[in-house]
Amino acid sequence: MTLDDEFVAAIRKDFRTAPITAQDRVMLEYVETLTKDATRLGREDQEKLRAAGFDERGILQITLIASWFNYINRVADALGVGTTPT
């Protein structure tokens, strides 16, 4: 967590140009692909994570956490959680 509003704004604008580590950038690229179309992920994507310093446990954790957030957001969207009733 951070209270640095400029950092948060840079991440929201485009994580690729934000002041983050190369490891974080590789992780976020993986998560972005997982979110948009997980069928596009393959061994080469996991190899990029390994090359960035993630081990098998880290890759599993990244995948599970990102997948869970995707899942729970879809459930919330489907049920209208957080929206104003019409």
In a domain, 68, yes or no: yes
Query: What pLDDT score does 86 carry?
Result: 65
Q: Give one DSSP letter per residue of 35-71, joined into a string.
A: HHHGGG--HHHHHHHHHTT--HHHHHHHHHHHHHHHH
Does residue 35 belong to any structural domain of this protein? yes
Q: Is the pLDDT of residue 10 over 70?
A: yes
Residue 63 lies in domain: 22-79
Q: Is residue 53 part of a domain?
A: yes
In a domain, 63, yes or no: yes
- Split at pLDDT 50, 70, 90, the class of 77 is very high
Q: What is the pLDDT of residue 84?
A: 75
Who's near 41: CB < 8 A, 6+ residues apart?
A: 30, 33, 34
Q: Is residue 64 situated within a structural domain?
A: yes
Say if 16 falls within a structural domain. Answer: no
Mean pLDDT, all residues of the chain: 93
The model's pTM: 0.84
Average pLDDT score over residue span 34-45: 96
Answer whether 66's CB lies under 8 Å from 31's CB: yes
Compute the distance between CA of residue 11 and CA of residue 57 in angstroms, rounded to an integer.
25
Give me the CATH number covering residue 43: 1.20.1290.10
| Structural domains of the chain, count | 1
Note whether residue 55 is domain-resident.
yes
